[in-house]
Amino acid sequence: MYQEEPKIKEAEIIVPEETEQEKHKGIFSEKILFFILAILIGMAVKTEAVKKITIGFDDYLMKFERRDFDLNRMQDEQIQKMIKEQELQNNEVENQN
């Protein structure tokens, strides 16, 4: 006679529970990895920023090129234009009265 082999219909998986010490080690190692990642990202950002940002402690090392415009002169010209416009407006108001 033929006998059927017993089949396992449902299996129960027993996972050992983590102890408090193992949980603490896991959290501690996650914090360490996060800290190391933050340091590496910070170094990468600083390296890229040094290439692109020129404002800071080393400003005295920058070479200043010749400027083709004078801000003080431009400001004086704008003031003169505003004074002329104001005089024209005053004249128009006086002529209307």
Residues 32-75 pLDDT 10s: 999 999 999 999 999 988 887 766 666 667 676 766 777 888 89
Full residue range of the structural domain in which residue 55 is found: 20-96
Q: Calculate the average pLDDT of the chain.
A: 82
Q: Is residue 56 part of a domain?
A: yes
- Token digits for 22? 């193992």
Residue 15 sits at φ, ψ, to 5 deg, of -105, 125
Q: Is residue 10 part of a domain?
A: no
Rounded to 5°, the CA angle 45-48-53 comes to 105
What's the total number of domains in the chain? 1
pTM of the model: 0.38
Q: Is residue 71 part of a domain?
A: yes
Q: Is residue 74 part of a domain?
A: yes
Q: Is residue 33 part of a domain?
A: yes
